Structure 1
């Protein structure tokens, strides 16, 4: 089970990760440097990945994010691993959720997309710009919309 987000050291680490992302993800000129920042923040990320400007990942539970090899995450995407209501809210017990996110090798995430907790984007799957991803997206398919829906298979003969 993930650590309690109300613990002191947890808050300090999350704040440091937020600072790294806010300052560096919009200013570093090369994708390889942005990939390095994500690794510093605790994201498990493979080789040959492209990360665009303004990509933000969940700073509370970055270790729950797994990104395979040759994944493209376009500009201004957000990846979330938790939904937590304010500590004093009665909704907290009902709606708090912490789930990992997996982007398998060859996945392509279009600009300004949202990846929600528990999302799985399988190999060679494309997500159109501005889409909201939840659940599992099949390999070799194109998804678009809010929520992301199957548009068509991309590589029908390959799978």
Structure 2
């Protein structure tokens, strides 16, 4: 597993969590149970703690770092190639692919940040709202349909995590 101790601090990984062999999890990182950490993801807790809740997904090539503290709640989706730095992301939120969440930003519970959005330093994204753009601006309310789709996505990844645990094997060319 691609886990690294730094300054005598080791990552803590919850039961059932799957971490891709090409991911890097370094130092003061706590990841909850039944999470998916995708290929090429970097979660670097070298300056402060990074805490990721249960059943959260960090998709391929996402980068999570902190200068002081980063918190990601339960059942959060961090899309492919997203960058999170020194932010708080509450339960049930979605951070779209290639989005950037900057220092001191806070993403409310059940909020959606659309792909390729920039949440600026210190910006607050309200719970249950959809934001998009550069900089991210309010677009509309998240609906029950959005929440249902997010839940389906998380459940699909929880099942994928189990599949990776049981069947992923390197092969010879």
TM range (shorter): 0.5 to 0.7
* Alpha-carbon distance change, 133 to 65 in structure 1, aligned in 2, over 3 angstroms: same
Runs of 4+ in 1 over 4 A off after TM superposition: none
Task: After TM superposition, list the pairs within 5 Å mapping 1:81-100 onto structure 2.
Answer: 81=86
Q: Does 1:123 align with 2:109?
A: yes
Q: What is the TM-score normalised by the length of structure 1?
A: 0.61
Deviations 1:29-83 (A, max 9, x none): xx93528x7497641110010110001112x53x6000110000010011123xx
Structure 1 gap segments, 5+ residues each: 1-11, 18-22, 26-30, 82-100
* Alpha-carbon distance change, 108 to 124 in structure 1, aligned in 2, over 3 angstroms: same
Q: Pick the structure with more strand per residue.
A: 2
Q: What is the TM-score normalised by the length of structure 2?
A: 0.56
Q: Give 1:154 shift.
A: 1.5
Q: Pick the structure with more helix per residue.
A: 1
Aligned to 1:24: 23
Aligned to 1:107: 93
Q: Does 1:55 align with 2:62?
A: yes
Structure 2 gap segments, 5+ residues each: 1-5, 12-21, 25-33, 145-173
Aligned to 2:3: none
